[in-house]
Amino acid sequence: MRVLLLGGTWFLGRAAAGEILARGWELTVFTRGRSGAAPAGAVAVTGDRTSPADLAALAKRGPWDVVIDTSATDIAPRDVLTSATLLEPVAGAYVFVSTVNVYRDWPNEPLDESSELLDAPADADADFGRLPADWTGPDWYYGRQKAGAEKAVRETFGDRRSVVLRPGVILGPGEYVGRLPWWLSRAARGGIILGPGDPARRIQPVDVRDLAMFALDLAAAGQSGNYNVTAPGDETFGDLLDACVEVTGRQGVVEWVADELLLSAGVRQWTELPLWRTSAGVWAVDSSAARAAGLSTRPIRETVRDTWLWMQAGGRPVEHPRWREHGISPEAEAEVLRSSRLPTPREELSSPPSARQGG
């Protein structure tokens, strides 16, 4: 099988490239050459996917059985449209990695593939959907951009020759966002670790390698369609942090603090304590269609272990500004923990008078 991979030198692209080569398929990797070298065994083509001239030159190297697009994170819909249009004559199918952010109700409501999508034209530029600085409503900019990119792929390749994958949170070796690496680093530092909310809260992160394998399995089978790609939700935040503490040597102990106390303390959801979010739908994304099509996901402990091994071996992610967004400072963490141990007014009133008076 001949594969053109848009991306291929970091995180999902690198995971996909490794799996493609392990299967003995022919691989062409198209990158700008800024995020590391292409994997050995691949045909490396350097170019900018926002350049029609570079894409036209790339197309002359075809044909391919499938294009797998892992590099559209910060690409406007019109650039995806250009890629798809120029590659369509020399590609049998197009697999586009999108996001659950394309759903209007994420992260507030449970979702499946029939849920309402945000809307954007296939030729939208990078400014489409930007919000004014004083906007206080839902931030749909990123989701609209990806919805427009999905539309660009479907309009060009048609429903029968296109696959759209909508992962939620992607974790694993090579992660550039910094969510799991932050938790692992915090666990390795030891002491009392602030656990956010309910340890029994179900979570659905998908391992980057499982997402890559699913994309390739669909390509090999000639499948089409739209698929949410998440873990089934049978593991918890407690499982995640227990695994982080275990693999880093059990130097820390998790102390769980209720959502209400974290919110009243002003802790930023999703970033200061990575992966913590109280919205009802954030971990309620149905992936049963993907499972019926062959998706298999590994236990969270395996993802945690392999990410720690990658970090210990000197693994470093591609430089990305999102890494710096994540993590609570030691001082703020200590203050939240201290405040959480203080008696509430209700507890004060219900305690015996002698206890309240200190004698």
**pLDDT tens-digit map of 227-243:** 999 999 999 999 999 99
d(CA 223, CA 95): 10
β 235-236/202-203 pair status: antiparallel
**pLDDT tens-digit map of 97-155:** 999 999 999 999 999 999 999 999 999 999 998 888 777 778 899 999 999 999 999 99
What 8-state DSSP symbol labels residue 328? -
Q: Could you tell me the residue ranges of all domains in the chain?
A: 1-167
List, as one string, the DSSP characters of 147-206.
Answer: HHHHHHHHHHH-GGGEEEEEES-EESTT-SS-HHHHHHHHHHH-EEEEEES-TT-EE--E
Q: Which residue has the tokens 């994309």?
A: 215
d(CA 38, CA 150): 26
The CB density around residue 283, as the number of other CB atoms within 10 Å, is 22
What percentage of the chain reaches a pLDDT higher than 90?
Answer: 84
Q: What's the fold here for domain 1-167?
A: Rossmann fold (3.40.50)
d(CA 108, CA 104): 9
